[in-house]
Amino acid sequence: MAEYTLRVRRFQPEARTPEGEPEGPYWEDFDVELEETLSVLDGLLQARSDKDGSLAVRCSCRAAICGSCGVKINGQSALACKTQLQHASDEAARREGDDPVIVVEPMGNMPVIKDLITDMESTHWTKVRRVTPWLLPGGEEPERENVVPPETMIDITQTMACIQCGACVSACLAMEADPEFIGPAALAKAYRFVGDPRDSQRRERLYDLAQDPHGIYDCTHCFACIDACPKGVAPMDQIMRLRRAAGRDEKIHDRNNGHNHEAAFVKIIEKKGTLDESLLLQESYAPGIKGKLIPRMDAIKGLLTSIPTAVRGIRTGKMRSLSKLIPGVHPKLPGDAQDHVRRIYAHAEEHHEELNLYVAGEEGDESPDLPSSPAAAAAGSGEGTDAAGEEPDTGAEEGTGAEEETS
Amino acid sequence: MKLAYWPGCVSRGFTPELHGSMALVAERLGIELVTLDRANCCGAGVIAEHNQELADTLNARTFALAQSTGLAMMNICSTCQGAQSECKQRLDADSAYRAHINEALSAEGLEYERDKDGFTNKNFLWVLVEDIGLDKVRELVKRPLTGLSVGPFYGCYILRPKHRLGYEENPDRDLYLEQVIDALGGQVVEYDGARKCCGFPIVTMNRETSLRQAGTHLGDALDSGADCLVTPCPLCHLNLDMQQPEAAKIVGRDLGIAVLHLPQLVGLALGFEPRQLGMNTHVASTEWVAQRLAGTVPA
């Protein structure tokens, strides 16, 4: 048994000060005594049963399955039932030094109803519904089941692992600045259907999410959702896959300049090897000759708004060389290095391989055939798999290889 | 200490003062930098969003170039660190995939080998704390940053996701900036935005959200009493410094807070003058920092 102090952010909507004013949120410390392998949720429940029955926390399964007990622990969004007390205490000690206090707050980016209970409806569920989270099949209904290639379904299992706890929404730094951002949970859910071979509305879904100013191009790449997710869904990775699908596969030129920016960046590195920032700015807003001859209104606006920044850059000396002033003057890599970069482009654009480590696994699980990998993982250590392509692979035809897991 | 050095694009683009100050500081710290002048852009996550294999191959090429020097690699950009670590994780995870990627490098006579000679790629911040050591840094300080209140700003790519950035072996990497500020004799300022996002990646897509992020964090730092911020990420620097007047308009308040690159802050403590470190080229004036250090402003 060990003793822990939980510092809980409390809010009792009905509480009033002696003067009759609403009390507002406040901190309260609870000392609990529990086995160190027990969870922060266990600590909260002990505090509720022994110290204050009015302490409000939402929970059900206590096994990281139901997704009810999302909170912030030491500032990090997580499930209270999946975070061990000792681990949380060690983390607090690492940051704050001796006498660590485990700080527990309600999730962020959502209104607080009471204590640790947030309103999931007004943000999370509303945003999930925004992406039409159900299958929209097309064509004739099959006589029996839909027959689809197993690897396509395995590809979306990562998003299917979502338990809707809202931890990623709580952690999202883009949503903090733009509450209208569709957000990590809903966009991961969107990929679940965009990637589903049975869905008939792939392009329409992507077009909708690319055009929305608060859609896939509103994500700032901050990785907060990846660290917050208790189930390895990696919502940001799903958002990047939505961008690949929208821009590269469906060639959707969104009004947010998301695809233009990406296409310009990719093209500049092929030509120059390192980034020509002036050219990137210009090409992101007004790509190619067409973009310059017939610029869109928002492109003109975008370029005009960047003028003050450019002027400041010149004035301070940041942008005083020709290569920074004139787009395209930026030098190539030396010698034949640029040719080799071009060769890399040709190779990669031919294959477009995408390695999803959630599916394929890491280390000692080195089969190049993604769909068979769970079977390979179950089969053993993967010793000597340098020629993994040639090794006999019994799991390849059976799809997920779930049956092999008992071996 | 001799290191293969990847300065990145932005440190030679819109933040040349970073590249310059790194060169000065490296010499004083006893680091010999072998610049990878044939290496290419890390892709900053943007190339991966177009074609993951392309991003992985481009970075495998950079690692292979570094490995051909037989040296460990150092970068000076959180974004390079994150984008390269992401590709490295995939390359290291799967030998067949690695062989496929190496096919594309063979024409140049290059090959990326996992763990070759214990190969590592570290940001200057990590090198400073893990390889040089804070005790050594303390010894080298000539002008302690006494009275200077510094807010750390890490940049997302060097913080998250933890499993990809070596936090199992080095769990305190998210505290190094504070440790460095302290070792240099400065005062660490705690504020809300230290580990948040500067917003830069979407500045051409959603300018308002992007600059609101930068402006909010700058404002929080000011309200917490910071004289300046320090960042190991030049892309954060673009949003926090170069765009600062625009960010001020979005959040509707005066800002005007200096944002230093990590080598600049180290350089000040090692005795270099602000001008030598290119601090006169910033958009947000660094005059206040100079005055603090000269003792002309009471702390």
CATH 1.20.1050.140 range(s) for chain B read: 2-123
**Predicted pLDDT of residue A391:** 37
Q: Is pLDDT above 80 for B256?
A: yes
Question: Chain B interface, mutation test: which of A72, A211, A223, A365, most B Cβ atoms within 10 Å?
Answer: A223
CA A228 vs. chain centroid, Å, equals 9
* Percent of chain A at pLDDT exceeding 70: 89
A253 closest CA partner among A243, A239, A267: A243
Q: To the nearest whole percent, how much of chain A has pLDDT over 90? A: 69
Please write the tens of the pLDDT for every residue from B131-173. Answer: 999 999 999 999 999 999 999 999 999 999 999 999 999 999 9
Q: Tens digits of per-residue pLDDT, B201-249?
A: 999 999 999 999 999 999 999 999 999 999 999 999 999 999 999 999 9
Give the integer Cα–Cα distance in Å for A33 and A47.
9
CATH class of B142-294: alpha beta
Average pLDDT, chain B: 97
Q: What is the pLDDT of residue A364?
A: 61
Higher pLDDT, B91 or A294: B91
pLDDT score, position B299: 58
Q: Which of B54, B156, B200 best tests the A interface by mutation, with the highest count of A CBs <10 A?
A: B54
Q: Which of residues 9-38 of A touch B (CB under 8 A)?
A: none
- Cβ <8 Å between B160 and A226: yes
For residue B295, what are its two tokens? 């003792």
- A281 contacts A261 by C-beta, under 8 angstroms: no
Chain-chain contact of A95 with B245 (C-beta, under 8 angstroms):
no
Q: Note whether B74 and B84 are within 8 A (CB).
A: no
Which residues, 6+ apart, have CB-to-CB distance to B68 below 8 Å?
B110
Residue B296, pLDDT score: 77
Of A207-221, A299-313, A373-387, the one with minimum mean pLDDT is A373-387
pTM: 0.91
Burial class, A173, CB count within 10 angstroms (exposed 0-12 / middle 13-18 / buried 19+): buried
DSSP B222: H
CATH T-level fold of A2-118 = Ubiquitin-like (UB roll) (3.10.20)
Q: What distance in Å separates residue B60's CA from the closest CA in chain A?
A: 11
Least trusted range by pLDDT, from A98-102, A328-332, B35-39, B250-254: A328-332
Answer whether B51 sits within 8 Å of A244, measured CB to CB: yes
Position A315 confidence tier, pLDDT thresholds 50, 70, 90: confident
Architecture of domain B2-123: Up-down Bundle (1.20)
Q: In whole angstroms, what is the distance from residue B226 CA to residue B189 CA?
A: 6
- Give yes or no for residue A387 having a pLDDT over 70: no
Place of tokens 């505090």: A47
pLDDT for A288 equals 81
DSSP states of A187-236 as a string? HHHHHHHHT-TTBS-HHHHHHHHHHSTTSGGG-----HHHHH-TT---HH
Q: CB distance from A308 to chain B under 8 Å?
A: yes
Please, what's the largest Cα pairwise distance for chain A? 79
Residue A374's pLDDT is: 42
What is the reported pLDDT for A312? 86
Q: Is the pLDDT confidence value at B15 over 60?
A: yes
The radius of gyration computed from the CA coordinates of chain A, to the nearest angstrom, equals: 26
The letter for the amino acid at A171 is A
Lowest mean pLDDT: which of A125-139, A350-364, B84-98?
A350-364
CA distance A149 to A147: 7
Alpha carbon distances (Å) from B46 to A217, A299, B89, B269: 11, 20, 17, 36
Smallest CA–CA distance from A388 into chain B, residue: B96
Token pair for A198: 């049975």
Is A399 a residue whose pLDDT tops 60?
no
pLDDT band at A381 (very low <50, low <70, confident <90, very high): very low
Give the residue from chain B lying closest to A385, CA to CA.
Answer: B95
CA A306 vs CA A117, A178, A290, A309, A323: distances in Å: 43, 21, 21, 5, 18
Return the pLDDT at A318. Answer: 79
**Predicted pLDDT at A304:** 82
| A213 contacts B46? CB cut-off 8 A | no
**Per-residue pLDDT averaged across A240-264, rounded?**
95
Multiple choice CATH, A121-139+146-249, 1.10.275.10, 3.40.50.720, 2.60.120.200, 1.10.1060.10: 1.10.1060.10
At residue A278, the pLDDT reads 85
Task: Say yes or no for a CB contact (<8 Å) between B283 and A305.
Answer: no
3-class secondary structure for A139-184?
Answer: CCCCCCCCCCCHHHHHHCHHHHCCCCCCHHHHHCHHHHHCCCCCCH
**Rounded average pLDDT over B108-137:** 97
pLDDT band at A188 (very low <50, low <70, confident <90, very high): very high
Adjacency order of strands within the sheet including B73-75: B32-35, B2-6, B73-75, B121-123
From chain B, pick out residues whose CB is under 8 angstroms from the CB of A262.
46, 49-50
Give the tens place of pLDDT for each residue, B42-81. Answer: 999 999 999 999 999 999 999 999 999 999 999 999 999 9
A112-164 pLDDT tens trace:
999 999 999 999 999 999 999 999 999 888 999 988 888 889 989 999 999 99
pLDDT interval class at A311 (50, 70, 90) = confident
CA dihedral B226, B227, B233, B236 (to 10 degrees): 70
Using a CB–CB cutoff of 8 Å, tell me whether A407 touches chain B: no
**Chain region(s) in chain B for CATH 3.40.50.11810:** 142-294
Where exactly are the structural domains of chain A?
2-118, 121-139+146-249, 258-351, 360-383+400-407
Q: Kindly list the residues from chain B whose CB atom is less than 8 angstroms away from the CB atom of residue A317.
A: 280-281
Element (H, E) at B150: strand B149-152
